[in-house]
């Protein structure tokens, strides 16, 4: 009489990328607001360094270079954070993580760069109307506010509840485990 072999417990596997819980849109927007507060300091220091290193005495002097410098610094901040664990400080606070859709792991530098560039679609299209359509500042702010609301609402129409820039970049935001 033979005894049955003891069954071995199945090995726990990481959840598939599509199985990771999707945080609410409100939670992601709250992290975006916190990100804006944090970026104020990053942009301030970048602007201070630029002004000091270029001996800038007037805000109109080298303003295009300053804009490019700030965009480069902010891009470096995001790409560095996203590729090293998939989280910025606000994302850690709100327990969010950025992952690549295919792998479920933090994105590569190229994918993080694509997401950073695509994320500018939150602001650039309506702001481009200001000089092109000769809109007043209040009208530009109103158009920008409507655009941001529409961009955020687009996530409600997405089957995975992701924002359009994440869909374009092949990334997604998932709920992160608390550290």
Helix (H, G, I), strand (E, B) or coil at 9: coil
| pLDDT, tens only, 114-129 | 999 999 988 888 888 8
| pLDDT, tens only, 11-40 | 434 444 556 788 998 999 899 999 999 999
Q: Are 17 and 99 in contact (CB under 8 A)?
A: yes
| pLDDT, tens only, 34-66 | 999 999 999 999 999 998 999 888 777 888 899
Question: Burial of 173 by CB count in 10 Å (0-12 exposed, 13-18 middle, 19+ buried)?
Answer: buried
Domain ranges of the chain: 20-175
Report field, pTM of the whole predicted structure over 0.95: no
């Amino acid at each position: 009489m033979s005894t049955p072999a003891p069954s071995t417990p199945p090995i726990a596997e990481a959840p598939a990328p599509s199985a990771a819980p999707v945080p609410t849109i409100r939670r992601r927007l709250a992290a975006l607001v916190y990100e804006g507060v944090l970026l104020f300091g990053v942009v301030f220091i970048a602007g201070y360094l630029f002004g000091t290193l270029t001996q800038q005495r007037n805000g109109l002097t080298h303003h295009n270079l300053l804009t490019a410098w700030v965009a480069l610094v902010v891009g470096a901040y995001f790409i560095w954070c996203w590729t090293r664990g998939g989280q910025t400080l606000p994302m850690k606070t709100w327990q969010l993580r950025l992952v690549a859709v295919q792998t479920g792991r933090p994105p590569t530098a190229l994918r993080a760069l694509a997401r950073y560039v695509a994320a500018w679609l939150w602001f650039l299209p309506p702001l481009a109307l200001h000089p092109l359509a000769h809109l007043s500042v209040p009208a530009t702010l109103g158009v920008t506010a409507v655009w941001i609301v529409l961009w955020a609402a687009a996530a409600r129409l997405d089957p995975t509840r992701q924002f359009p820039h994440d869909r374009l970049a092949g990334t997604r935001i998932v709920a992160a485990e608390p550290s």
